[in-house]
Chain A
């Protein structure tokens, strides 16, 4: 079936550096994408979303890039902080559907 996956299961970065978390999706009909952050023992926390009619969206310290040609999504975190350490999930939603499909996650470790 259609799926969302991630290239790297674990990403380790130095505090203050920028982080880039990548995600590949396979459903070309997906029209909405979300990045979530999940800390241990907590539910996923919404970070940023992007619709398929956009290729870039910025938030506070975060940027999401969408490349529909190669079906690739990325999350950029500027000036990574220890509090950014968590598992990050990308999720996609198909056209005319309310169901979000999640990938398996990337763990971000921030070194002090």
Chain B
């Protein structure tokens, strides 16, 4: 399977702890996105990378959240001092293209539960 890979699939943490998620995009995809999804809702955009450059961040991405894509391949999303409201599915997607219109291909997400 050469799709988008996310690790871990599930994470349970206590409030106040830090967590880090990893995303491996489809090989050669230059664009990488992070989204957050809560139950019954559509995914919400968090941030976007083109190669290693983080080009856009949502207002949803508070200063407790940080994302990196150091070599333009895999990406990490870190949440510091987790809160119960951070409980959600964190989805990574990638796409290939030079223009604006190319479909995003999603991984199966990391489900975070903050207790």
Which residue of the partner chain A has the closest CB to B42? A102
A42/B48 in contact, CB under 8 A: no
From A44, A49, A104, give the contact of B106 (CB < 8 A).
A44
Residues in B neighbouring A34, C-beta threshold 8 A: 103-104
B40/A44 in contact, CB under 8 A: no
Q: Answer yes or no: A43 CB below 8 A from chain B CBs.
A: yes
A43/B100 in contact, CB under 8 A: no
Contact surface of A with B, Cβ cutoff 8 Å: 4, 31-32, 34, 36, 41-46, 49, 51, 89, 91, 93, 95-105
A43/B109 in contact, CB under 8 A: yes
B43/A102 in contact, CB under 8 A: yes
Q: How distant is the Cα of A102 from the Cα of B91 in the complex, in angstroms? A: 13
Contact surface of B with A, Cβ cutoff 8 Å: 4, 31, 33, 40-45, 48, 50, 55-56, 91, 93, 100-101, 103-109
Which residue of the partner chain B has the closest CB to A95? B100
Q: How far is the CB of A26 from chain B (nearest CB, A)?
A: 14
Given contacts A44-B106, A49-B103, contact A98 B40 (CB under 8 A): no
A105/B41 in contact, CB under 8 A: yes
The 7 closest A-B pairs by CB, nearest first: A102-B42, A43-B106, A32-B101, A43-B108, A44-B106, A46-B103, A99-B45
B56/A98 in contact, CB under 8 A: yes
From B31, B48, B56, B100, give the contact of A32 (CB < 8 A).
B100
